[in-house]
Structures are given as C-alpha cells and as structure tokens.
Amino acid sequence: MKIELIVSGACPFCLEAEKVWRVVAADHGFEFSVVDTSQPEGAALVQRLKLQAVPALLIDGTLRAIGVQSPEEALTLLKSTRQ
C-alpha cells in the first residue's frame, strides 16, 4: 500500500498531518511519501485531482481524505482501503 500526503509549505495543518501519517505508515509498514504542491509532481496532482485544499491524502493513487486525521482516523482509512 502506498500512502501519499500532498502538502503546501504555506499550510499550517500539513505538518501535523505529516507527523500522524509518518507514524502510522512506519508502525504498519506502508510506503509513505510527502508531495509538495510547489514541486512539479505536486502541482500536477493538484491539477489532476482538482484539489482546493491541503493536506490531501492519496492511498494507492486514490484521493481518500482532506485535512488532518487523528491516528485512529488514519487507521480506519487504512482498514477501509484494504476491504
């Protein structure tokens, strides 16, 4: 499972979301990456997904959430993706 977190340097919530997802991904052995909207890859994802807010979470390439999740919410998202 691949988890991508789309962030912006200007976003006050992105750092908190990154902390949560880094721990959850490490604890459960998932691939995790942060994609900044100021980089070409991030800008392309924003355009393709028509994102208007960050942080945005992709799991296996599918947009699954916007905003900051608690560790419990993160685990629920992962479980629902596996089913």
Nearest to 78 by CA among 35, 30, 43: 30
Query: Residue 49: what pLDDT?
Result: 96
Are the beta carbons of 17 and 69 closer than 8 angstroms?
yes
List of residues 6+ apart from 16 with CB closer than 8 A: 68
Domain boundaries, the chain: 2-82
Q: Calculate mean pLDDT across residues 26-42.
A: 95
pLDDT at position 83 over 80: no
Report yes or no on whether pTM surpasses 0.85.
Answer: yes
Length of the chain in terms of residues written: 83
Burial grade of 56 (CB within 10 A; 0-12, 13-18, 19 or more)? buried
Percent of residues, the chain, with pLDDT higher than 70? 99
Query: Residue 15: what pLDDT?
Result: 96
The domain 2-82 is classified under which CATH number: 3.30.70.100, 3.30.70.1380, 3.40.30.10, 2.60.40.10? 3.40.30.10
Q: Is the peptide bond before 12 cis (omega within 30 degrees of 0)?
A: no
